[in-house]
Amino acid sequence: MMKQIKKHKLLLMSLTLLVFLTACRSIVDGNGHVLEQYILKLDTPFSAAWNDGLFTAILVYPISLLLNYLASIEFIGAGGSIIIVTLLFNALLTPSMIKQQLMTQKQQLIQPELAKINAKYEGKNDQQSMMHKNQEMQALFAKHQINPLGSLLPLFIQMPLLFAMFGAIQRSYNLINGTFFGIHLSTAPSAGYSEPNGYIYIIILVLTIIANIASFKLPQYLTKLKKREEGFKEKAYAIDKSASNPEKTMNTMMYVMLAMTSWFGWSWPVGMSLYWGIGSVARILQALYIYKYHSLKK
């Protein structure tokens, strides 16, 4: 029961966050250009951002200042500023991301034990049996120090940053007027593909999608490889389809993120695809670090 309540609270928080962030008023005109009063410059006062809303003042404004400052440095430029800020964010999130991946690995390791509990209570749907089943599962999680919701925490941290980066990339003056390999990072592939260098928009989007897929699939592959290397034997238990399956959950997330990357990547500023792609590369490096330096036996 407590597990169901937590899931409902998690869903409610997610929907609240989504509604809050997507309820922002439009800052572009009919041609997709940012309105002058919403462009953020290095000399834009904090009071102007504060008048635009709490979210803009707390997240979008400082990120925009950093992007504008880095983009103003000649050898960094607009594209380099996005890459640096993305790597900085991922460096700050690395501890929580590593914890998330390790938590997912733990959940994969206890799947045979979870399956055994599910098999024990198969066909028993009365309240007392379900209560005992949940108690045994909670005891198993406690034994292995697993928080089923712990792997979702980084997502809550990343979502506000994702929306903030979208706003900052869209509104930062030096990004709007800057270029990266001859393309404007504030332009969407859907609008820029017909330009002389339009193929670069497509290349960035395709590479982002590939990196996004790899960032989800590689940790799963490395976990299986690590299990074989460290002598973990797979046990053949019939797994209840209603049970929590981290790998299935990750695959579902991958398909959702892939659809989002493809759909939004085509219509939002290509700078966001650059941000998303570099972030995916950072997650790949985190997975390789965990594979090399963290033992499943521990």
Q: For 117-140, how does the pLDDT look when each residue is reduced to its tens digit (9 = 90+)?
A: 888 777 777 778 778 788 888 888
Does residue 92 carry a pLDDT above 60?
yes
Euclidean distance between CA atoms 52 and 74, whole angstroms:
30
Q: Which residues contact 260 (CB under 8 A, 6 or more apart)?
A: none
Q: What is the pLDDT of residues 206-240, one digit of tens each?
A: 999 999 889 888 887 887 787 777 666 554 444 44
Q: DSSP letter for 56, please.
A: I
What pLDDT score was predicted for residue 247?
59
Residues 168-196, mean pLDDT to the nearest whole number: 87
What percentage of the chain exceeds 90 in pLDDT? Answer: 19
Provide the whole-model pTM: 0.73
Does residue 250 carry a pLDDT above 90?
no
Closest CA to 63 of 260, 275, 207: 275
**Is residue 15 very low, low, confident or very high in pLDDT (cuts 50, 70, 90)?**
very low
Q: What angle do CA 209, 213, 216 make, to 5 degrees?
A: 145
What percentage of the chain exceeds 70 in pLDDT? Answer: 77
Euclidean distance between CA atoms 20 and 163, whole angstroms:
11
What pLDDT score was predicted for residue 34?
77
- Residue, of 102 and 232, whose pLDDT is higher: 102
Euclidean distance between CA atoms 149 and 156, whole angstroms:
11
**Is residue 142 very low, low, confident or very high in pLDDT (cuts 50, 70, 90)?**
confident
Euclidean distance between CA atoms 214 and 38, whole angstroms:
36
Q: How many other C-beta atoms are found inside a 10 Å radius of the C-beta of residue 98?
A: 17
Tokens standing for residue 108: 């994969």
What pLDDT score was predicted for residue 234?
53
What pLDDT score was predicted for residue 296?
61
Residues 29-34, mean pLDDT to the nearest whole number: 66
**Is residue 55 very low, low, confident or very high in pLDDT (cuts 50, 70, 90)?**
confident
